[in-house]
């Protein structure tokens, strides 16, 4: 059996197991999609949000890319935010970075090239802001510091999106959060608390950048 055939077999076994436990699971799943959370995270396979949060996958609307970036000119990410806020009516947007991030480390070690270099270019700007105070720190400590600062930056980018600003202007109860997942411990760290207005977002922007 090929590796891909094995994956299909595992899927079939999984579906049968679910149906044996909850016969109407897939029937009910197909009827509605009302997640409370939009998760913007890294593509790293170790950081699947349903696993980290111990939640059913249908409760989380997910967008993932390398280093959990939020570019204002990224139509994919902006469309996800718009759909989540305007149509799914999510209550929370979580930007989550993580320790031991390959994208972060590549920027610190100047090992990016091609499309990924352009994608991660904003991280190079952030890198200069930590290089002075962490010049003598280990690569792991610098990587963690940059990962945390990157989460803060991407949170401000989410808050600056037209969709989120409009939702707040209309009095929506949307909250934005910045978290960091430590792969070494399995624990999520809340970096910024709950951001519920443009004024709070502006305060964070001023404090960090």
Residues 6 and 105 reside in one and the same domain: no
140: annotated active-site residue = no
Among 42, 77, 96, 159, the one annotated catalytic: 42
CA-CA-CA-CA torsion sign (189, 66, 119, 197)? negative
Angle at 161 between CA 95 and CA 120, to 5 degrees: 55
Residues 57 and 108 reside in one and the same domain: yes
The pLDDT tens digits for 139-156 are 898 999 999 999 999 999
98: annotated active-site residue = yes
Least confident among 74-88, 118-132, 159-173? 118-132
Residues 26 and 55 reside in one and the same domain: no
Q: What's the domain range around 11? A: 1-31
Residues 25 and 48 reside in one and the same domain: no
Among 77, 96, 101, 159, the one annotated catalytic: 101
Cα separation, 49 vs 191, whole angstroms: 17
Residues 77 and 24 reside in one and the same domain: no
| Secondary structure tally for the chain: helices H, strands E | 10, 5
Residues 41 and 15 reside in one and the same domain: no
Among 33, 46, 51, 133, the one annotated catalytic: 46
Number of neighbouring beta carbons within 10 Å of residue 35: 20
CA-CA-CA-CA torsion sign (199, 204, 207, 209)? negative
The pLDDT tens digits for 149-192 are 999 999 999 999 999 999 999 999 999 999 999 999 999 999 99
DSSP state letters, 57-115: GGGEEEEEEGGG---TT-HHHHHHHHIIIIIS--SEEEEEEESS-HHHHHHHTT---HH
Residues 14 and 47 reside in one and the same domain: no
Residues 20 and 42 reside in one and the same domain: no
Among 63, 77, 98, 159, the one annotated catalytic: 98
Looking at residue 151, which CATH number applies to its domain? 3.40.1050.10
DSSP for residue 38: E
77: annotated active-site residue = no
Domain count within the chain:
2
Residues 5 and 86 reside in one and the same domain: no
pTM: 0.94
Residues 171 and 187 reside in one and the same domain: yes
Residues 152 and 75 reside in one and the same domain: yes
Residues 21 and 107 reside in one and the same domain: no
């Amino acid at each position: 059996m090929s590796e891909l055939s094995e994956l299909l077999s595992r899927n079939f076994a999984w579906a049968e197991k679910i149906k044996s436990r909850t016969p109407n699971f897939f029937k009910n799943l197909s009827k509605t999609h009302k997640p409370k959370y939009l998760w913007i995270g890294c593509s790293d396979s170790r950081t699947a949000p349903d696993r980290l949060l111990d939640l059913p996958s249908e409760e989380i609307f997910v967008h993932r890319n390398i280093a959990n970036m939020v570019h204002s000119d990224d139509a994919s990410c902006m469309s996800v935010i718009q759909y989540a806020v305007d149509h799914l009516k999510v209550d929370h947007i979580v930007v989550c970075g993580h320790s031991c991030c390959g994208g972060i480390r590549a920027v610190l070690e100047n090992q990016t090239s091609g499309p990924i270099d352009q994608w991660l270019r904003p991280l190079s700007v952030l890198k200069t802001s930590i290089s002075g105070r962490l010049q003598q720190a280990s690569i792991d400590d610098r990587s963690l510091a940059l990962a945390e600062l990157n989460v803060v930056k991407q949170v401000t980018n989410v808050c600056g999106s037209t969709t989120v600003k409009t939702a707040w202007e209309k009095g929506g109860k949307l909250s934005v959060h910045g978290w960091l997942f430590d792969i070494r411990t399995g624990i999520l760290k809340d970096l910024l608390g709950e951001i519920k207005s443009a004024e709070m977002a502006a305060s964070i922007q001023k404090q960090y950048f």
